[in-house]
Amino acid sequence: MTDFLKNTLGLSPAVADALVVFIAVNILVAFVAGSAIFFIWLERKVCGRIQDRLGPTRVGGKFGWLQTIADGIKLLVKEDLIPGDADQMLFRLGPYIAFCGAFMAFIALPFADGWVAKPLSIGVFFMLAVMSTEVFGIILAGYGSGSKWALFGGMREAAQMVSYEVPMALCVLVPVIVAGSMDLNYVAKQQDWLWNWYVFHDPFTFVAFWTYFCCATAQCKRAPFDLAEAESELVAGFHTEYSGLRWSFFFMAEYGAMFAVSGIAVNLFLGGWNIGFLPNWIQAHMGIFANLLGVVVFVLKAWLLVFVMMWVRWTLPRLRIDQVMMTCLKYLLPISCALLLGVGLWQALMPVIVGRIFSIVLCALSVAALGWLVYTLLTTFTKLPSGGVPNLWTPTGSARRDLAKT
């Protein structure tokens, strides 16, 4: 793209670079914001469904797909108040730092082959590092609010994130060792066929994927690890005192982080933008469309993971803080260390053919399991809840009347 600008438009290289960066950043901001909006809507729907509700239905006609926009407008116009004994500066800074942390991670996240804002040879490391700065924003928020709920929430959050960073990073290292590079683009490139996905590469990567997912969930302070905003204990954690746009920044940061970690997972384990059963030469002939297809595939995969996160959130009960820490330090950390060691040994000692056979077998099993899961889900859905209200899903007159009243 730089070349395109330089050659066809004849811009000076400096300007061209600057322009490229500018464009990339704008695209990313737009994407992050958009995905956040979409996630909020999705979350509502999923939560509703899981709670036997409908979720938003009205706004924007079908499915309430404008619901989030409406919320955004509401937040924008909301009065933005700052507690009396809050530290103004820190209070203001908090959300921005958090959002920056979450957002800057996207700089190194490749959406398709070569489609990355800044190709870094240490992409994944960079992403982790940047996301680790998000903690500080939260701490500032919790401290600057000058409220004990916020302070507690912030402290808990900080402790949780800092300690979950460690096993997360270790799990990330597992596929990195397999790939031999920290460049996400290169890592994703390696896994073209389905059985080449690193999740199937060997038992350690397989386990590492799930471990990483747990850590990521905790890292994004999602349930069941959302001790920060444990309503029952401390009202809303570090953002108790926040409202309006700042509050929404926090949420954008959270959803952005969710997408970022999912993207990392997809790039490291789930073959990135590769479909998995489309041969490479076809993509090679598709040219730029291949990249577009890749983007679609990648985003879908990431969304799938995010969906799983939501699913988990609304399904599982919340842990206690000590349980959270114990899970990290007593279980996840040793497990991840063992994985690191194991994958190193596997790489060093296991004959290539054995590894290949193993990955194929594991791939087949997983596909079968997935298929079975989907099948059961679909078939289960067709059944009505036993003893349920008849015609619940097809609103009858009385129901309409009730709805109309509200």
Q: How far is the CB of 113 from other proteins (least distance, A)?
A: 11
Neighbours of 384 (CB within 10 A): 12
Question: Where in 154-173 is the site for other proteins (CB under 8 A)?
Answer: 155, 158, 162, 165
Subset of 29-58 contacting other proteins (CB under 8 A): none
Contact 154, 238 (CB under 8 A): yes
Residue type, 208: A
**CA end-to-end span of the chain:** 54
139 binds other proteins (CB under 8 A): yes
Residue 144 beta carbon to other proteins: minimum distance, rounded to whole angstroms: 8
- Residue 93 C-beta: closest distance to other proteins, Å: 6
Q: Are 165 and 219 in contact (CB under 8 A)?
A: yes
Interacting residue with other proteins among 47, 66, 129, 236 (CB under 8 A): 129
Dihedral angle over CA of 315, 318, 324, 326, nearest 10: -90
Instruction: Give me the half-sphere count of Cα atoms (radius 13 Å) on the Cβ side of residue 139.
Output: 11
Site map (CB under 8 A) of other proteins, residues 356-375, x = contact: --------------------
Q: Is 181 in the site for other proteins (CB under 8 A)?
A: yes
Q: Which amino acid is at 349?
A: L
Distance (Å, rounded) from C-alpha 249 to C-alpha 245? 6
| Cα dihedral sign, 290-291-292-294 | positive
Site for other proteins, residues 293 to 332, rule: CB under 8 A: none
∠ CA 115-276-379, rounded to 5°? 120
Among 60, 72, 83, 119, binds other proteins (CB under 8 A): 119
The DSSP call for residue 384 is P
Q: Would you count residue 339 as binding other proteins (CB under 8 A)?
A: no
Which 70-109 positions form the footprint of other proteins (CB under 8 A)? 85, 87, 89-90, 93, 97
Binding of other proteins by 189 (CB under 8 A): yes
Binding interface with other proteins (CB under 8 A): 13-15, 17-18, 85, 87, 89-90, 93, 97, 119-122, 125-126, 128-130, 132-133, 135-136, 139-140, 143-144, 146, 151, 155, 158, 162, 165, 177-183, 186, 189, 344, 347-348
